[in-house]
Amino acid sequence: MSEKYQKLLEPLTLTNGAKINYRIAMAPMVAQGSNPDGTVSENDLDFYSERSNVAGIIITGAATVSERGKGFDKQLSISDDTYIAGLKKLAAVLKKDGNKAIIQLYHGGREAKSSYDKFGEVVAPSAVEFPFLSYTPRALTEEEIQDSIAAFGAATKRAIEAGFDGVEIHGANHYLLQQFFSAYSNHRDDFWGSALECRMNFPLAVVKEVKRMANEFAKPDFIVGYRYSPEEIHGDMIGYTAEESLQLIDKIVEHKLDYIHVSIFTKYNDKPSGNDKTFAELTKEVVGDRAAVIIVSNIFSADDALEALEIADIAAIGRESLLEPKFAEKIAAGEADSILSRLTADRVASLQFPEKLKDWFLEEGSALPPLPGDEYLKA
């Protein structure tokens, strides 16, 4: 092992006492390998088994907590007790090399396109007509808001029963929790909207409920993380600024979360416009030693990951975990130079890509960032 990469391999103890083998995480990505009913498939097990030593924390793609919040046709579900049996198999596969298995809890809100196809409607904070959607979501009632909060709690209990080491609350990427926080998508004038403090109430309520269930049913070292998008600015449309989201994160970490995961799509060291500090550094300033900070985006080598640790506690790899399932293992073995960051024709089969994921990368105008060497997925 090269001393150069020692920091990546230093165990990290989270605030709850959970110990992470490597300061590397596999970022949550919807792989679209599950069965159409949301149960764990053999494809899921093969895909994650291949990546059981890719990082110290392995976070699954989004698992829907409600069938009314399902965004993808072949997405994991954790919305009912019937899913626990398959999730037990998935957790066991992820944990086989001693790394932490985290399942991401998700509700798509207005983005629940699979649910729209099934039910003919989707729900969101407000009935806003979005130019990028072919439908208008229905505003959630007070009862439905309470049910949605409870769904995150119930999903946490199922994750505990299935043997996961923790959960990540998905508060990013324009899904339901972010929609409540965004002034663009939340036009409510009640407890759940309007002023900034009210727009914080739904994500905070979800955090409280998840923590309540974890405290009641899990061991003390059960991990609870929160993923957030640090700003929502698209030209003249401002859902919220980085300054506003940091106020939310400050309140979230008061509930003794173990990590905050900064979700960006540009590069791990990106900065808000006009600011000299990166999103990760700004988050770390607010969080302090109350929780670890994970940063993601465009980390394709051990050197990239090492540089990311200058501004965060854990470096998360997304596409690179698809390309190199032995990322952390190779660094630990002193083989960082052999880490692969591009597909080749002879490796595609061994990487266990679900067919739907291949199609997603290859479709014209795909929302996914390009995968180096993705032309070999066509074979």
Q: How many CA atoms lie within 13 A of 161 on its CB side?
A: 15
* pLDDT over threshold 70, residue 3: yes
The pairing of beta strand 259-262 with beta strand 223-228: parallel
- The CA distance from 161 to 176, in Å, is 25
Q: Which of these, 93, 11, 99, lies nearest to 55 by C-alpha position?
A: 99
- The CA distance from 255 to 308, in Å, is 26
* pLDDT over threshold 90, residue 367: no
CATH (residue range 3-336): 3.20.20.70
pLDDT tens by residue, 104-156: 999 999 999 999 999 999 999 999 999 999 999 999 999 999 999 999 999 99
Beta bridge partners of 281: none
* pLDDT over threshold 80, residue 239: yes
pLDDT, position 2: 64
Average pLDDT over every residue of 195-209: 98
Sketch the domain layout of the chain as residue ranges.
3-336, 342-379
pLDDT, position 215: 98
Q: What are phi and psi of 289, to 5 degrees?
A: -95, 15
379 band by pLDDT with thresholds 50, 70 and 90: low
CB neighbours of 337 closer than 8 A, spacing ≥ 6? none
